[in-house]
Amino acid sequence: MHIELKKLGIFNDLNQLVDDSFNGTCFAYDWFLMLKKVDYILVILNNKGNMVGFMPLFIDENDQKKLAQSTMYIPYGGPVLFQLPTKERHKIKFIRDIEYQLAKYLKDNFTTISFSTDTKIKDIMPFIRVGYIPEVRYTYKLDLQKTLDEIYINFGSDRKKEIRKMNALGVEIICDSNLEYFDCEKAMKWEKKHNLPSSSDFVKKYILTSISKNRGMSFVLKKDKEILGGVHLVWDKTTAYILYSYYENKGAITTIYFNMIKYLKENTTVKFLDFEGSVYESIEDFNMSFGAFQDRYYNLHWKDKNIEELYTNLYEYGDK
């Protein structure tokens, strides 16, 4: 195995590679990477010179020696792998060989490294063995392969009550493909609260691009002329992800979620809904109340100096 640095633009079929891969997500699609101003990716080649994977490089625009992938804006990153061996022991060795090469390459070329893996990458020992600090995180997913009735039955009693209450008010769910109703400013309440870098212009561009690529949709809940809440979903071949949301009360967001699930089952082929943003206890409890199951992923961190700063900041979730 070896690693080569390539310009993003050399691939004409990157999105198809992602869809055909073992673990690729919509956060590795070329249009998303271009929106995030990613110029380079690492190409992973086997001993025969065949590409067996790649990894986008989310480089800090203010520091070219710093990899800075925030899970708030890019839930999953890391390597996208394909052509995996069928036998389990060979697959484990294959993934570990790739991870060793990536771990060493990144340390040799960057002074600060932070990125996440997706939920299918369970083995991160090569990164740990060369000095990376793992941060364990959890998300919650809903199995959309069940019928709508089976999914609804597993909702908590509070969620069912909220849906009944909203329906009794005569609310209307709207698939807002033109952002006529969805409020990008309100969708950034989290970023504003914690002074995180983003802009409503980027959010709007991202939302409209995902919709135009048939990889996203915005949903709003409307009562007469009042908008009670909104959610934007994106998806890849197998999974949909909740990325932006705002709401007046839990009843509104619960009702939107239920109608989103119905939309996904009727209009896409995705098998799972990933609630995202589930690392905080109050959010975890809410997401679990939809009958979602827990899935694990990792953030990986490394610095060439002052590494103790990573330890002091790790798991400091506070009131987020």
Q: What is the pLDDT of residues 245-259, one digit of tens each?
A: 999 888 999 999 999
- Both tokens of residue 157? 């009693």
CA 283 to CA 61: how far, in whole Å?
A: 31
Is residue 135 within 8 A of residue 315, CB to CB? The reply is: yes
Q: What is the pLDDT of residue 20?
A: 96
All residues at 6 or more sequence positions from 180 whose CB lies less than 8 Å from its CB, including other chains: none
Q: Do domains 2-136+298-313 and 146-270 have the same CATH topology?
A: yes
Is this structure's pTM higher than 0.75? yes
Is residue 229 within 8 A of residue 260, CB to CB? The reply is: no
Residue 318 banded pLDDT, cuts 50, 70, 90: very low
Sheet containing strand 172-175, strands side by side: 66-68, 112-116, 293-303, 133-143, 272-274, 239-247, 226-235, 216-223, 172-175
Asked if the model's pLDDT at residue 149 lies above 90, the reply is: yes
Class of the domain covering 2-136+298-313: alpha beta
Asked if the model's pLDDT at residue 70 lies above 50, the reply is: yes
Domain locations in the chain? 2-136+298-313, 146-270
Average pLDDT, whole number, for the chain? 91
User: 146-270 architecture in CATH?
Assistant: 3-Layer(aba) Sandwich (3.40)
CA 299 to CA 301: how far, in whole Å?
A: 7
pLDDT tens digits for range 205-222? 999 999 999 999 999 999
CA 216 to CA 237: how far, in whole Å?
A: 12
- Both tokens of residue 192? 């504003």
**Looking at this protein, which amino acid is placed at residue 160?**
K
Please, where are the H alpha helices in 118-196? 125-129, 148-153, 157-168, 189-193
Q: What is the pLDDT of residue 315?
A: 60
Percent of the chain with pLDDT over 70: 92
User: For residue 281, with 0-12 CB atoms within 10 Å meaning exposed, 13-18 middle and 19 or more buried, which class applies?
Assistant: exposed
Is residue 174 within 8 A of residue 223, CB to CB? The reply is: no
pLDDT tens digits for range 157-214? 999 999 999 999 999 999 999 999 999 988 887 665 555 556 778 899 999 999 999 9
